Structure 1
Amino acid sequence: MILIGEKINGSIPAVAEAIARRDGEFIKNRARMQAEANATFIDCCASVPEAEEVETLHWMIDCIQDVTDLPISVDSPSAAVLAEAYRFCRKPGLFNSVSGEGSKLDTIFPIMAQEANQEWQVIALLSDDTGIPKCAADRLRVFDKIMKKAEEYQIAPGRIHIDPLVEMLCTSEDGIATNIEVIRTVRERYPEIHITAAVSNISFNLPARKLINQGFLVLAMNAGLDSGILDPTNRDLLGLVYATEALLGMDDYCMEYIGAYRDGLIGPVR
């Protein structure tokens, strides 16, 4: 599974404080921890006013790149900010994110189409100018729009991570049925595409959140999720990823699961 480490995000109070103080060691430590936990990408989100965002992301990206060569997920709700901040990365990473809203696709996809940026990937949210669609059929209509635009710019499906938009379970009318239907349909239509989710969104405002997160992760992976925005240092959650891949027949002879246990990534703390 593709693990997008979520621990460097200015919406987290401790990270916001470190950003305000320009505490580079704090950012570096979080990057180091996630790299050691086998993250695939290190997400980098400033969560500051847009006027300060490019400069702040530049500083944060430099901090991360000082301690790891893992690719960076450059995270901003602004396509204009992404179009500037990605240049600070020393290697191809992940645009996080675009959607069917406004001109976001036409801002980021042309950048990805450039010869120098052929290895860049993108997270695409299934929302548009109307907001987050309530039903699976409407989210899939946004998906079709995104894929039509990707074809126009010759962006291969394997470079796209579709985010079906996980909402709070406690306020959802149909539980996770919409998400599961979207994940399964996207996977059936495009076997080579990636499907991602911010796993912890499902459990907001609920007690014992980790139980909901773990249950959702198993269901979503069974439906076709192969990418996740999560905390790779959470041994229980990471162990569940390896275990589920083994149970789904995605890990020949359970070698990845055994290796993760042997390397101390999962299982009891040694």
Structure 2
Amino acid sequence: MIIIGEKINGSIPAVKEAIEKRDATFIADRAVQQTAAGAHFIDVCASTAPEFEIETLKWLMDVVQDATDTPLCIDSPNPRVIEAVFKYANKPGMLNSISEEGNKSEILLPLMAGNSWEVVGLTCDNKGIPNDVETKVEITRTMVEKAAQYGITPDRIHIDPCVMALSTENNSLLNFTQEIRAIKEMYPTIHVTGAISNISFGLPVRSLLNKTGIAFAIQAGMDSAVLDPLNREMMGTIFATYALMGQDRHCRKYSKAYRAGQIGPAAK
């Protein structure tokens, strides 16, 4: 499972405060902790006023890159912001994100030509997030074909089928797993990602639904996720799921994660 650490986002109150105070120590600590917990990418998202976003995102990138070698996932709903800060990345990482909404693909995909950058692709367009599998698959196809024009192969793309909240769509997870299977069948080497916590929005004991949901999603083929790597229960579910699916020979990764303190009860 490719883990995209989600804990440096200005929409989180503590992170917003750290950004406002330019508390580099707080941001750096979050980056280091996520790296130690197994994050493969550190998502950096300013979530601030548009006129300050470029400056803030560059500051976040600089702080995180000074603290850890883990590649960045540069995150903004505005592709022009990502384009503006792209040159400040020390090494290839991930762009978050393209879609068929507006001209996001046309702005960001050229940045990935001739290098090893990866990208998140949301299955939405100018009409919003579709409810049917067929439209999401077609949006995926369009993005993959556009990416190919720049020499970007499917294995560099992380498709996010945009899981819906179970509280508003009773078949949300069933649809999500169907979408994962359909996308992986069409492009076997593509990654499927997402924020599985969206599934539990508006419901009690959200962690229970999130853990159960990711187990189903992994079984369907999800191999990338935006989540909190410091959440030991969620990480434990991920390692346990791969072991139970027979994809962890002799449970070595599961056992290693336990010994490393990534899963199991927290030390007292």
TM range (shorter): over 0.9
Could you tell me which residue of structure 2 aligns to residue 110 of structure 1? 110
Preserved contact between residue 163 and residue 199 of structure 2 (Cα < 8 Å): yes
Q: Deviations over 1:103-142 (max 9, x none)?
A: 11111111101x2xx1100000000011101111111121
Tell me the residue number matched to 2:186.
189
CA distance in 1, matches of 2:85, 2:249: 39
CA distance in 2, matches of 1:165, 1:217: 14
Does residue 240 in structure 1 map to residue 237 in structure 2?
yes
2:120 match: 123
Deviation at 1:210, TM superposition (A): 0.2
**% of aligned pairs identical?**
47
> 1:38 is paired with a residue of what secondary structure?
coil
Any residues of structure 2 matched to 1:1-270 within 5 Å, and which? 1-113=1-113, 115=114, 118-270=115-267
**Partner Cα separation in structure 2 for residue 238 and residue 220 of structure 1:** 14
Following TM superposition, by how much is the alpha carbon of 1:173 offset from its aligned partner in structure 2, in angstroms?
4.5
In 2, the alpha carbon distance for the partners of 1:123 and 1:254 equals: 30
Q: Secondary structure at the match of 1:92?
A: coil
SS in 1 for 2:58: helix
Pairwise CA distance, 1:199: 1.6
Offset at residue 249 of structure 1 (A) = 2.1
Deviations 1:199-247 (A, max 9, x none): 2111111111100100110010000000000000011100111111111
Q: Any gaps of 5 or more consecutive residues in structure 2?
A: none
Amino acid at match of 1:57: L
Query: How many angstroms apart in 1 are the aligned matches of 2:242 and 2:171?
Result: 26
What is the rounded CA distance, in whole Å, between the counterparts of 2:142 and 2:189 in structure 1? 18
* CA distance, structure 2, for counterparts of residue 60 and residue 175 of structure 1: 34
1:30-88 CA distances to partner (integer Å, 9 max, x unpaired)? 11110110110000000012221111011111111121100010000011111111221
SS at match of 2:63: helix
How far residue 28 of structure 1 moved from its aligned partner, in angstroms, is 0.9
Deviations 1:176-201 (A, max 9, x none): 22211110011111111110011211
> What is the aligned residue count?
267
Distance 2:188 2:143 in 1: 16
2: CA distance, partners of 1:4 / 1:175: 22
User: SS of 1:176's equivalent?
Assistant: helix
Say if 2:101 and 2:126, in contact at 8 Å, map to a contact too.
yes
Q: Secondary structure at the match of 2:135?
A: helix
After superposing the two structures, state which structure 1 stretch, 213-222 or 170-179, moved more.
170-179
1:250 and 1:199 map into 2 onto residues whose CA distance is 21
Distance 1:173 1:264, change over 3 A: closer
Secondary structure, in 3 states, of the residue corresponding to 1:233?
coil
Structure 1: gaps (5+ residues): none
Q: CA-atom RMSD, angstroms?
A: 1.0
